[in-house]
Amino acid sequence: MSAEIIDGKKIAQSMREQLKNRIAQLNGVKPGLAVVLIGDNQASKTYVSMKQKACEALDIYSKLVKLPASATESELLDIIQELNNDSSIHGILVQLPLPDHINETSVIEAIHPSKDVDGFHPINIGRLQTGGEAFYPCTPNGIMKMLEHHEIDPAGKHAVVVGRSNIVGKPMGQLLLGKSATVTYCHSKTADLKAHTRQADILIAAAGIRNLITADHIKEGAVVIDVGMNRDDEGKLCGDVDYSQCSQKASAITPVPGGVGPMTITMLLFNTVESAERFSR
Ligand code: GUN
């Protein structure tokens, strides 16, 4: 059996078209996203430039604040305060990772929860667990949209999440639980990874380890979502899942590239538009 391919690029494109319609109904309010970039991390620069281009394509105002790696935490906190008070800005994103001398928690907590379009503020994380109006982290929420698009209902399914980061693994499990899945978290200290992943109806691979998941790790007919963004020996982008093996055994699978990646930025745009809608209510 060959798996159905979950085409993130296509789903992202159709969601972006829907967002254009929502923006058109904002009565002249232009959604605004501020992206703060500190230092010279090449991957961060690439992500930030992709985020800006995506904003431009939807006519979302994007403000880039660039700071040198030597910037102090207090300078950064002052900038966040200004952005919190700026009515043209509906979303604030501080690109991670931060230089070592800046405390990530203090920075995330300085962003007003109503503008925290990354969904990293403890208020938003709390509301993800308890319900209520919140921003959900972009990558896991994008995965939920992909499942929905393919009419894969997590209710009653066993979802296994490999990875426990604050950005992907932990919120992923919460979102799946919110849709009534039975959730297992696996991580670097899990004793027998395969024993768990083989039981997954829905497997989310978010460990950041190339080819961690082979055909032997999955059960026949599983839905396999690959969050990995690794490089192979030739520098080519590849995921955590051995795609050629697993696509023969899974019922549905995301490729890398063209799977989860395009959904992440789309969900950032989604949250920014949602924020502008809330502010204009
Ligand atoms: N660095 C890697 N992924 C992300 C993300 O989703 N948001 C932010 N702010 N930084 C990141």
Is 273 among the domain residues?
no
pLDDT exceeds 90 at position 20: yes
Is 142 among the domain residues?
yes
Q: What is the CATH number of the domain that holds 57?
A: 3.40.50.10860
Work out the average pLDDT over 108-113.
98
Q: What is the CATH number of the domain that holds 149?
A: 3.40.50.720
Of 65, 76, 95, the one to substitute when testing ligand 1's pocket (max ligand atoms within 8 A of C-beta) is 95
In this structure, are 177 and 107 located in the same domain? no
Q: Of ligand 1's atoms, which has the minimum distance to the CA of residue 264?
A: 6
Work out the average pLDDT over 116-130.
97
Is 82 among the domain residues?
yes
In this structure, are 184 and 249 located in the same domain? yes
In this structure, are 80 and 50 located in the same domain? yes
Do residues 111 and 129 make contact, with C-beta atoms less than 8 angstroms apart?
Answer: no
Active site residue 95: yes
pLDDT tier, 46 (very low <50, low <70, confident <90, very high otherwise): very high
pLDDT exceeds 80 at position 114: yes
Active site residue 118: yes
Is 281 among the domain residues?
no
Is 129 among the domain residues?
no
pLDDT exceeds 80 at position 125: yes
pLDDT tier, 44 (very low <50, low <70, confident <90, very high otherwise): very high
185 beta partners: 161
In this structure, are 165 and 94 located in the same domain? no
- How far does residue 51's CA lie from ligand 1's centre (Å)? 11
User: Rounded to the nearest 5°, which phi and psi values hold at 93?
Assistant: -130, 125
Work out the average pLDDT over 98-121.
98
- Give, in order, the Cα–Cα distances in Å from 103 to each of 67, 100, 167: 15, 7, 16
Is 71 among the domain residues?
yes
Residues of the domain holding 180: 137-260
**What pLDDT, in 10s, does the model give residues 196-232?**
999 999 999 999 999 999 999 999 999 999 999 999 9
Is 132 among the domain residues?
no
**What is the number of structural domains in the chain?**
2
In this structure, are 186 and 247 located in the same domain? yes
pLDDT tier, 243 (very low <50, low <70, confident <90, very high otherwise): very high
pLDDT exceeds 80 at position 1: no
Q: d(Cα 33, Cα 93) in Å, to the nearest integer?
A: 8
Mean pLDDT score across all residues of the chain: 97
The pLDDT value given to residue 56 = 97
In this structure, are 196 and 93 located in the same domain? no
Instruction: Detail the DSSP E strand segments found in the chain.
Output: 4-5, 32-38, 61-67, 91-94, 158-162, 182-186, 202-205, 223-226, 230-231, 237-238, 252-253
Active site residue 51: yes
In this structure, are 252 and 149 located in the same domain? yes
274 Cβ inside 6 Å of ligand 1 = no
The pLDDT value given to residue 132 = 87
Return the residue whose CA atom lies nearest to atom 2 of ligand 1.
96
In this structure, are 232 and 159 located in the same domain? yes
Q: Residue 5 gets which letter from DSSP?
A: E
